[in-house]
Amino acid sequence: MRLVAKKVFKNLAQILFEIGWSLKLADKDFDRFFSIDGLANLGAAYEKGRGVIILTGHLGNWELLAIIFKMIGYPTSFVYRPLDSSPVNGFFEAYRTRFDGKLIPAKWSIGRILRSLRQGELVGILLDQNVAWYEGVFVDFFGRPACTNKGMALLALKTGAPVVPMFLVREGLGFRAEIGKEIPMVKTGDMTQDLEANTQQYNDVIEAFVRRYPDQWFWVLQRWKTKHCQPWPRGQ
């Protein structure tokens, strides 16, 4: 565990240097440092004509996903939480949109996300962060109840937009984007149950990637900060 912890902090330092490094890259350099696995999975989901919700998290160097979306060529929006520091936030807004991707502030984002999906865009959402109890549902994450934003499940259920996982992991001297298959939607007609079941599926996917690359996840997130306000697990 101590070795993994050291690698985690090394990963955090690398992220900052890689952001600076990536600013010097031109489009012609992308193929040298970035590869994509599972592009057919994304293509199959996109062909449904409902846009695509991209499930991702703070793994590897997620800030470089803008390059992957540029390589893929689909119109893309990213849901993000503005940073408290205006100068730092301004830098990251410019950084994240330099390849024509659009940003959607997380607060009051539902309407803009719906428009993006109707326009056939990919919408990237980081789902591995803690939220307040009234924003999420409690599902299992590494054996502990974690309050997880229910917005992704709600959007998928309301729009029928497919949810496709995508994570960018560090590999050798470059990066590899792993695009998984569309996550099957659970839709029983019971909204509460469906929100929990689908959100659990999304958490399971994130957990599986973290288990594969434990040193590349942003462990400093306070993932289990919100305490559940109802018996866990629900219904048992």
On the question of pLDDT at 189 being above 50, the answer is yes
The band of 98, judged by pLDDT with boundaries at 50, 70 and 90, is: confident
Sign of the C-alpha dihedral, residues 19, 25, 27, 28? negative
The band of 13, judged by pLDDT with boundaries at 50, 70 and 90, is: confident
**Chain-wide mean pLDDT for the chain?**
91
Sign of the C-alpha dihedral, residues 211, 16, 42, 37? negative
Residue bearing the bigger pLDDT, 58 or 92: 58
Residue bearing the bigger pLDDT, 232 or 138: 138
On the question of pLDDT at 235 being above 50, the answer is no
On the question of pLDDT at 232 being above 50, the answer is no
Phi-psi region of 112 (alpha: psi -120 to 50; beta: other; left: phi over 0): alpha
CB 90 within 8 A of CB 126: no
Task: Report how far Cα 125 is from the mean position of its chain's Cα atoms.
Answer: 4
The band of 108, judged by pLDDT with boundaries at 50, 70 and 90, is: confident
Distance CA 234, CA 138 (A): 9
Distance CA 52, CA 44 (A): 10
For residue 228, the model assigns a pLDDT of: 65
Residue bearing the bigger pLDDT, 2 or 90: 90
Helix (H) or strand (E) holding 193: helix 191-212
Exposed (0-12), middle (13-18) or buried (19+): which is 55, by Cβ within 10 Å?
A: buried
Distance CA 205, CA 166 (A): 10
CB 188 within 8 A of CB 49: no
